[in-house]
Amino acid sequence: MKLHNSASAFENGLVLQSAEIHDPTNIRMLLLSQLQRLVSSVNATRTFKSEEDYHDCIEDIIEVFPSLKVEEVLICFKEIRQGKHDMYGTLCTAAIIKSLHTYESLNTIPLREQKHKALEPYTNGMIDWKQLSEALTVDQPKRSLEELGGYVHVTEQDLKDIEKAKKESK
């Protein structure tokens, strides 16, 4: 983890959800060992009393943050150890989840937005869709009913009434 910072972890890291699908045992063991290291380094042995507490925390992290990279989770653990996230004297699952949310909003989300903005011009191919739709619109010439091959049972008086109504509406 010494080689990674938040940007390199985002770019080159392994997505937690993918890691969990491909090798669930090893990814859980890695996170579990790092969580135990974190708990012992901040001396929070009262909140994590049993193995079940550790496993519940790891399951919650995987469930709540499937799109985070494994390296990002480990960087956040390191930042908690270094005191960059306020724990207010308690290290528990909720505090770790809150720290991961903070890490995500400060680091991961801006990097995602930056990556999205860099790709944005290519997603639509820089096509002016309005201009293209106007170019594709073809005006159909107005045709009479007789030209279209149809007929209507209209009397000469009906046609005169229609013409009179057209004139009056203008």
pTM over cut 0.85: no
Task: Print burial letters for 39-51: b (CB count within 10 Å at least 16), e (below 16).
Answer: beeeebeeebeee
- Report how far residue 80's alpha carbon sits from residue 61's, in angstroms, rounded to the nearest whole number: 15
- Write out pLDDT tens, residues 63-119: 999 999 999 999 999 999 888 887 776 788 999 999 999 999 999 999 999 888 877
Indicate the domain borders of the chain: 6-123
What pLDDT is recorded for position 152? 64
pLDDT of residue 142: 67
d(CA 42, CA 37): 9
CA 73/CA 32 separation, integer angstroms? 12
Encode pLDDT of 139-159 as tens digits: 766 666 666 666 666 677 877
Return the top range by mean pLDDT from 102-106, 121-125, 129-133, 139-143: 102-106
